[in-house]
Structure formats: C-alpha cells, structure tokens
A and B are shown apart, each in its own frame.
Chain A
Amino acid sequence: MLEYALKRLIWGLAVVIVVAFAVFCLIRVIPGDPARLIAAGGATPEMIQSIRQSLGLDKPILVQFAGYLSQVVRGNLGTSIFRSAGGSAHTGMHEFLTPTEETGVQQYAKAEVLGLIIERVPYTLLLTGLAMVFVVVISFSLGILAVLKKDTIWDKLVLFIAICAQSLPNFWLGIVFILLLSVKLKLLPTMGYQGPAYAIIPAFVLSLSLIPLWLRIIRLSLADVLSANFITGLRARGIPDRLILFKHALRSIAIPLVTVFGVHLGYLLGGAIIVEFVFNYPGLGLLTIISMLQRDFPIVQGVVLLFASVFVLINIAVDIIYGFIDPRVSLE
C-alpha cells in the first residue's frame, strides 16, 4: 500500500517535470521575443542582447531548465518580467537602467512569482470550492429526485435540465448573467471582487459544466442499486424507499463519483480560467491568461507547475481512496 503510493508519487514527479519542461520549451521556442518586448520601442540591438543575457535566454534550453529546477526546489519560482512588487504597472525596462541623477529612473522590485501565485490561490480556491459545493448539492438533490420519482415527469425534467446544462457554453452563460443582473436589472455587481459574495455567480456558472455528468452518474448508479437484490430484500421487510436510498444506495455510488471527482477537480482548476476572465475575478486563472498574453513566462511556468502538481496529487489521492472504498480493487 505504501509501496504503491510511493511508486505513484515518483511517477507523478516525473510527469510534473515533463509538463514543466514542455511549457518551458514551448514558450521559448515559439516566435516572439520577451527580451524585445521588455525593451519596447527604440531599443538598440545591444540593449536587447544584454537584456537577453541577464534573463539567461541565450543559454541552451536544457541548461536554462536545469537552472530553473534548481531554483524551484529552493522555493524560488522566479520573478515576474512585467509585474512589480508593489503592484504598479511599468514596462519592465526600469530594472535594466541604472538610476542616475539625469534619468532619475527608479528601480522597481519585481514581483516574485511564488508570491503572486500564493496571493491569488485563496480566490481560486474559494471559486473552485464553492463551485464544487454547488455541483454536489444540485446534482444530488436533482438526482435523488429523479430516482425517487423514476419515469415520471420529474425524471424527464431532470434529464432535460442536464441536457440543457450540457449544451450551454458556460462562459456564454456568464456573459448572459452579467448582462441581465448587472447591466439590465442593475441588481448585483458581478465583476471583480469586493467580498466573497462576488464568487457566487462565477462559481455557479462554473458548476454548470459538471452538473450534467454528476447527475447522470448519480441517477444511473442509484437506479442500478435500487433494483439490486439486496434492496428488494429490504423493501420486502417494509423499509421505506427513502431510507434505503440514504443508508445503503448512496454508499455504492461513491466509487464512480470518486473516480470522476479527481478529473473534475483538475478540470475546475483549468476551467476557472475562462470564467475568471469573463467575470474579471482575480484568481489564478486570470493571472494565467493575462500573463500568457503578456508573455510573462515565469508566471506562466509557475502556474503550470502548480496545476500539474495539484492534478497529479489529486489523481494519486483518488486512486488510493478508490482502493480503500472498493475492496474488490487491489492496487497493483
């Protein structure tokens, strides 16, 4: 058991390193030059070259990557190219100009990637956590309703809701919500963040993509279990359906749900990217998109490293939990 966990962890580490390397190469290999972007207009080739050297961009990729890894294990994920520590906006050239009396240029300390990420993690966690709560609450209530009233109009209605939720692009729904609630009705502020309440609508929009799948799994598994033999035995003894459901059936749907759960948490982390973009919610997703568009690659690397690690860990945890729940499964 411990041996299994260890084996998976080592594989997981390998996966994370490969992913990090892939992003590393991707950003550097693709046309477009961060050094030139930092230098902005009017920079001489020598200046660009010196910027490139100070960023270490002229060394071979493997050397750069090795250097990056050695920093990561020390907890240093690098510094942003464009963002300053104080949060002010600037072009990025300032670091490379020495302040003199004539130019009077001040040096801005660059924001640490790790710091930026940690700063935003709570927001994304709030969003993701709330979305997961919505998913569980909504899909369980609807799923149980559908099963208890199987083959009636309620069942069909729940299925209809599932199909609708599956067919809506969730960012589009976000747009519609913003339109209706903020622009037209002027009911609720939807964009940005000024308190936890701002996470509610984005979380709901995010949850809509997952609800159909959970609904199906719950409905199918519960229906399956309810028609199993031991349930018939319980019914014969006069135990009401509702009790049967809660005490016995729910336990056996834990397995498929746990399987899907791992993938979905990973999905939520990634899917939050678009939702955060639409709602201007200051989480990791927004950081990722804006940094990508600005070519602020230390941030992008750091975020991808984080995502990959989290996803790998979640999957390992899910597999181990799976091994516990279902005694028929032996971990190889």
Chain B
Amino acid sequence: MPKLQSGGEHVRGQAAPNPQEPRVEMQQGGSTPEPMAKSTFWERILRDKSAMTGTVILAVYAFVILFAPLIAPHDPYAIDVDNIFRPPFFMRGGTMTYPLGTDELGRDLLSRLMFGMRLSVFMSTCVVALIVAFGTVVGLLAAYYGKLVNVLLMRVTDIQLSFPVVVLAICVLVYTTPTVPAVITVLAIGNWPVYARVARSLGLTEKAKDYVKAAQALGASGARVIFKYILRNIAASLLIVCILDLGAMVIWEAVLGFIGLSVLPPTPTLGNIMGAGWDYMVNAWWIATLPGIIVFFLLFGLSLLGEGIAGASGVRGSMQVKTVV
C-alpha cells in the first residue's frame, strides 16, 4: 500500500497538506496557516459509505473465489444427463439441488460460476500485474529521460493502439491452443500501452514539480528520483487505474470467452460459460445471462472502491480510464 498519510502532521514550510507531496523536511522560517483537514487517508475512506459498500462486495467475491472448492455445491465438471437445462430455483422446474440451474450437460451452473469467477479473476490479476509493472516502468522512463525514449514509446504505443485488440487476440488465439498463459499474454500485450501512456503523463506532471528539481540538485541519480520519489507520488493514481482495469480485464476475458477464444470448456470461465450459453438463449437463457450479472457486481464493487480511493486521496479525475472492447 502506498503511504498516503498526510495532513495529520503539520509540516513546517508547507502551506496546505497535500496528500500527493512527500513530506520533505524543509526548515523554513515564518508562520504557516493551519492545515485544513486533519483526517488521514484511512479515516476518510472508512467514512465513505459507497467505498465501504464496494469493499464489502469485493470481500464477498474474494471469499467465494478463495473458498470455491469448499463451498461449491457440486463438482463443476460433473455431468448429469438426467438434469440438463434445469432452470434456476426461482423458476418453474428449478430445484434447490441446482440453485442456479444447469447447463447443456447437466453441470451445476452455480458451481461452474464460482470456479469461473476464480479463473477469470486470477487471469485478470495476472494481466494487470504484468501490464502495470511493464507499462509503468516504460512510461516513467519515457517521461523522465525524454527525447529518444519518449518518441520511441509514443510511436510504439501509437502502432499498438491503432490495432484493434480484438483482432490481435483473434489472430493469435484462433491458431494456438488458448491456454491460461496464452490468454494472459495476449491480453497483456494488447493492453500495456495504456499504462505506459498514463504513467508517462503522470510522470511528466511530477517531473515539473519542485521536489524533483530539488532532488536532482542534491545529486540524486535518475533511477533514485524515479523510484523513490515520483513512483511514490503517482502510486495512488496508478492504484485507482489498476483497480478499475482489473474489472476491464475481466470483461476482456469474457469477450474472448464469448467468441470461443479464451480457455476452452470444460474448464469454466465467465466468458466461455456465456459463449456456450449463447447457443441456447431461447430455451435456457440463464446460462448466458447469469455470468454477466456476476461480472456486473464485480465491476460495480471495484468502481465504488476505486472512486472511494480517488476521493479519499485527493486525486483529480483527469484519469483516462480505458474503456473495453
């Protein structure tokens, strides 16, 4: 977690506590105005009702994902030919044995959704981790060292951004077996330019600030400036983008799964359950529809939390949140 403590301590020499600026000990004479908000980041966010709602939702998801093997009512791969296309329990013909109905092979949908959530979220987390690490480093390097690195980065991301990611994904995944690492790689390759750009623009903003010049004047090396100072300060903004992107990657996986290019059945992912259900929309609409509701609430929780963090840490909303598909 980035250190976002601020305001609680009155720093001499600074006019108003800004959570974004590091606490640089500068001794200056003269009187300073009282800091306005004495609350810390944690106090603010715990008071934010919608952020807390989001956290609760995410906690539920985390619980289901972690304990799926223990709490799923059935084996997600167990085929039961006598019970194919059972509707969910709240419809006529549904039973509590299969609370959310069954699919075309009689497999329990609830269990498949639980395991599907697991895999989808796992894959999205891997993708986000990869692109954040890689994209941020590249973006910050471009921002800090400028000139050639910068131009190169811009052109490369231009090239990549003008390539519809769907086409890239289809290209690669149609012809190689879509295993979990393959899908993760494709999504990572398709989405890293966004982070590079975001990190670069954040880095450029920070670079113009005084504390960077101060550090440079004190003789700090480039790497030290980037990692110790700039990174610390943009961490909050990056974190927010990460959280929202986690959701975006889940949707990407769902899109790929829907067309049949994500991990193949019988391994359940939210995407391929929807894809398989698409064929049975008229008779068994629940197979394709319920996964979408699960994705919706996941993103909903993530958005609430993201907004809450943004509000509590004072980050301005000029963030470019990349939209999906």
| A175 & B323 in contact (Cβ 8 Å cutoff) | no
Chain A at the B interface: mostly helix, strand, loop or mixed?
Answer: helix
| A267 & B323 in contact (Cβ 8 Å cutoff) | yes
B79 contacts across to A, CB distance below 8 A = none
Identify which of B162, B165, B289, B302 contacts A179 (C-beta below 8 A): B289
| A311 & B325 in contact (Cβ 8 Å cutoff) | no
A315 on the B face (CB < 8 A): yes
A315 contacts across to B, CB distance below 8 A = 158, 162
Interface with A: B5-13, B25-33, B84-92, B291-299, which one? B291-299
Identify which of B172, B251, B258, B281 contacts A26 (C-beta below 8 A): B172
Interface with A: B63-71, B141-149, B313-321, which one? B313-321
Identify which of A23, A170, A175, A293 contacts B289 (C-beta below 8 A): A175
Contact residue range for chain A?
A: 35 or more
Task: Tell me whether A178 and B281 are in contact in the complex, defined as CB-CB below 8 angstroms, given that A169-B254, A169-B295, A274-B255 are known contacts.
Answer: yes
CA distance A302 to B115 in the complex (A): 40
Identify which of B161, B247, B302 contacts A266 (C-beta below 8 A): B161
B282 contacts across to A, CB distance below 8 A = 183
A47 contacts across to B, CB distance below 8 A = none
Within 8 A of B (CB), among A235-271: 256, 260, 263-264, 266-267, 269-271
B117-131 contact mask (Cβ, 8 Å, vs A): 1 or 0: 000000000000000
A12-25 contact mask (Cβ, 8 Å, vs B): 1 or 0: 00111011001100
| B288 & A175 in contact (Cβ 8 Å cutoff) | yes
Closest A residue to B166 using CB positions: A273
A11 contacts across to B, CB distance below 8 A = 155, 158
Q: Once A and B bind, how many residue pairs between them come within 8 Å at the CB atom?
A: 156
Task: Tell me whether A19 and B281 are in contact in the complex, defined as CB-CB below 8 angstroms, given that A26-B171, A30-B172, A172-B295 are known contacts.
Answer: no
Contact residue range for chain B?
A: 35 or more
CA distance A85 to B74 in the complex (A): 52
CA distance A277 to B164 in the complex (A): 15
B297 contacts across to A, CB distance below 8 A = 167
| B174 & A293 in contact (Cβ 8 Å cutoff) | yes
Identify which of B158, B166, B171 contacts A270 (C-beta below 8 A): B166
Closest A residue to B323 using CB positions: A209
A171 contacts across to B, CB distance below 8 A = 254-255, 258, 325
| A18 & B281 in contact (Cβ 8 Å cutoff) | no
Identify which of A32, A183, A220, A292 contacts B167 (C-beta below 8 A): A292
Task: Tell me whether A15 and B159 are in contact in the complex, defined as CB-CB below 8 angstroms, given that A175-B289, A213-B321 are known contacts.
Answer: yes
A320 on the B face (CB < 8 A): no
Task: For residue A114, give the distance in angstroms from its CB to the closest CB of chain B.
Answer: 19
| B303 & A166 in contact (Cβ 8 Å cutoff) | yes
B163 on the A face (CB < 8 A): yes
Task: Tell me whether A163 and B174 are in contact in the complex, defined as CB-CB below 8 angstroms, given that A15-B155, A210-B323, A312-B162 are known contacts.
Answer: no
Identify which of A179, A266, A270, A307 contacts B281 (C-beta below 8 A): A179
| 15 additional contacts (CB under 8 A) given A15-B155, A19-B159, A163-B307 | A30-B176, A32-B174, A163-B300, A167-B247, A168-B299, A171-B254, A171-B255, A175-B274, A179-B281, A216-B317, A220-B317, A270-B166, A270-B325, A277-B259, A307-B162
